[in-house]
Amino acid sequence: MSAKHLVGHNGVRYSPKNDCVEYYHIWLGKHEIIKSNGAYTESFFPCAMALNALTPSQRSALAKTLSGNYVLARPHLRGKRLRDLLALCSQQTKPLIN
């Protein structure tokens, strides 16, 4: 699920920042969940939005390393499954994230 769906649940809030954010994407050959500075994040996943953010030369270089079927490291919840999980999360008294 996208992090934006967790906002408003116990322990999760939106924190607006005026600072510029700089992203570093790590290409591991397959999508992985990794720990970055103590927080779980994900390696680069070549979806349409991510590929559109690359320059043509970056896309060309990446295309040479992609191998056919590229899948998410974990299931991406949507629809009823996402709503059911969020309903369960809203019943929790402990923060979702410490």
pLDDT digits (tens, 9 = 90+) for 8-64: 777 777 777 767 767 788 988 889 999 988 888 899 998 888 899 899 999 999 888
Number of domains in the chain: 1
More confident residue, 29 or 68: 29
Nearest Cα to 85, choosing from 71, 96, 94, 74?
96
Q: Considering the domain boundaries, does residue 70 fall inside one?
A: yes
- Domain limits for position 75: 3-90
pLDDT at 96 over 70: no
The answer to the question of residue 84 being in a domain is: yes
In a domain, 48, yes or no: yes
Instruction: Quickly tell me which residue has 């629809």 as its tokens.
Output: 79
Residue 41: φ, ψ to 5°? -135, -170
78 vs 20 pLDDT, higher one: 78
Asked whether residue 96 is domain-assigned, the answer is no
Name the band, by pLDDT with cuts 50, 70 and 90, for residue 97.
Answer: low
Task: At 29, list the tokens.
Answer: 């050959």
User: Does residue 49 fall inside a structural domain?
Assistant: yes
> Residue 30's pLDDT is what?
87
pTM of the model: 0.66
| In a domain? residue 98 | no
